Amino acid sequence: MIQVGIIGGTGYVGAELVRLLSNHNKVKISGISSAQYKGKSISSIYPGFYGLNELVCESQQEVMEKSDLMFLALPSGLSESIVEKAIHKDKVCIDMGADFRFKNEALYKKWYGKSFLAHSLHEQAVYGLPELNREYIRKSQIIGNPGCYATSVELALLPLISGGLIEENGIIADCKSGVTGSGKNLTESSHFVNCNESFAPYKVANHRHTPEIEENLSNISKENVKLTFVPHLIPINRGILSTIYTTPKKPMDIEKVHEKYCEFYKKENFVKVLPLGEISKINNVRLSNYCHISLHFDEENNKLIVISCLDNMMKGSAGQGIQNMNILLGFDETEGLTDVPAIF
């Protein structure tokens, strides 16, 4: 049985990892760490675990020592030094933050204000979008789990970008997320009175997932992909809906494009291309690791519109992290992730 530790086990992502891994048949949670709640049980912080999981929060070092693989569910900038120690002890690391999402150090420094501390680690690290890098993930010891918005937008655009079907510039990604996307610590915008019965954009054209999306899509396209990305906060707990506007390079046949999408994702367990005429909706993927994609064509304006929906805590975060774990450990990729989306 593989021993899996969670560094930062009491934030939203960490708690979701505990929930999912508690039902995984191939691994055992060896320990969880928390700077804030050391010595307290996970059930005293999240009573839903009462009688089901009574893990007690320990130090990072204690968790590292008894784990074969570690998830690092920490704010960006805190994982790299821990990963460096873990790799020297031959541990496998899946970073849920942004520390290992970038190959371009200048981009990381521009958007996160930090430089790479150990360049060799970044050379080893693989960007953990399975539908893009599955074969590399299998061989890696360090995985940078993608951002939630980035996952939604990249999955929506991969078939178009890889096929050279759309203009690389002028892409618009209009995205909405539930409040869990902003993390457990309260901000002014996530206070109940400010987000309930409201709907507002934030970090307009200045969100950190923008360079992540552009870097990965540019690597696929071999052209410089640029997009305008505007995230919005909506008063729901979980879920992302991305409406993406693209311009076709050639006259568009929506049925043929739909066929390309179905062919592109036919072997993927967690990406579902909906029939033409259907529309992706958050409530149809909630509490699941699935991403739903629907295609629409505005003939009057020559715009191909792609709508992508996923649960930001699942395929956008913890679920995708476990999917990556399954791949690199040689398990069935769907292990622990086959729950049907909530029906209502």
Annotate the chain with three-state secondary structure: CEEEEEECCCCHHHHHHHHHHCCCCCEEEEEEECCCCCCCEHHHHCHHHCCCCCCEEECHHHHHHCCCEEEECCCCCCCHHHHHHHHHCCCEEEECCCCCCCCCHHHHHHHHCCCCCCHHHHHHCEECCHHHHHHHHHCCCEEECCCHHHHHHHHHHHHHHHCCCECCCCEEEEEEECHHHHCCCCCHHHCHHHHCCCCEECCCCCCCHHHHHHHHHHHHHCCCCCEEEEEEECCCCCCEEEEEEECECCCCCHHHHHHHHHHHCCCCCCEEECCCCCCCCHHHCCCCCCEEEEEEEECCCCEEEEEEEECCCHHHHHHHHHHHHHHHHCCCCCCCCCCCCCCC
The torsion angles phi and psi of 105, rounded to 5 degrees, stand at -65, -35
Least confident of 51-55, 151-155, 193-197: 193-197
Residue 136, Cβ density class (10 Å: 0-12 exposed, 13-18 middle, ≥19 buried): middle
pLDDT given for residue 186 in this prediction: 64
Q: Is the pLDDT of residue 185 over 80?
A: no
State the average pLDDT for the chain.
95
Closest CA to 303 of 262, 253, 248, 238: 248
Look at the alpha carbons of 169, 76, 204, 244 in this order and tell me if their dihedral is positive or negative.
positive
Mean pLDDT value of segment 34-50: 96
The torsion angles phi and psi of 91, rounded to 5 degrees, stand at -90, 155
Q: Which domains does the chain have, with CATH numbers?
A: 2-145+315-329 (3.40.50.720), 149-312 (3.30.360.10)
Residues 173/244, Cβ–Cβ less than 8 Å: yes
Residue 110, Cβ density class (10 Å: 0-12 exposed, 13-18 middle, ≥19 buried): exposed
Q: Is the pLDDT of residue 278 over 80?
A: yes
Sheet holding 92-95, edge to edge: 57-58, 27-33, 2-7, 69-72, 92-95, 142-144, 126-127
Q: Which one of the listed residues 57, 93, 148, 175 is annotated catalytic?
A: 148
pLDDT given for residue 195 in this prediction: 76
148 in catalytic set: yes
pLDDT given for residue 138 in this prediction: 97
Which residues lie closer than 8 Å to 182 by C-beta, 6 or more apart? 189, 190, 233
Q: Is the pLDDT of residue 189 over 80?
A: no
Mean pLDDT value of segment 167-175: 97
Q: Is the pLDDT of residue 343 over 90?
A: no
pLDDT given for residue 180 in this prediction: 87
> Residues 70-116: pLDDT tens digits?
999 999 999 999 999 999 999 999 999 999 999 999 999 999 999 99
Q: How far apart (Å, rounded) are the C-alpha atoms in residues 324 and 344?
A: 28
* Model pTM above 0.85: yes
Q: How far apart (Å, rounded) are the C-alpha atoms in residues 298 and 237?
A: 31
**pLDDT-based confidence at residue 199 (cuts at 50, 70, 90):** confident
Q: Is the pLDDT of residue 181 over 90?
A: no
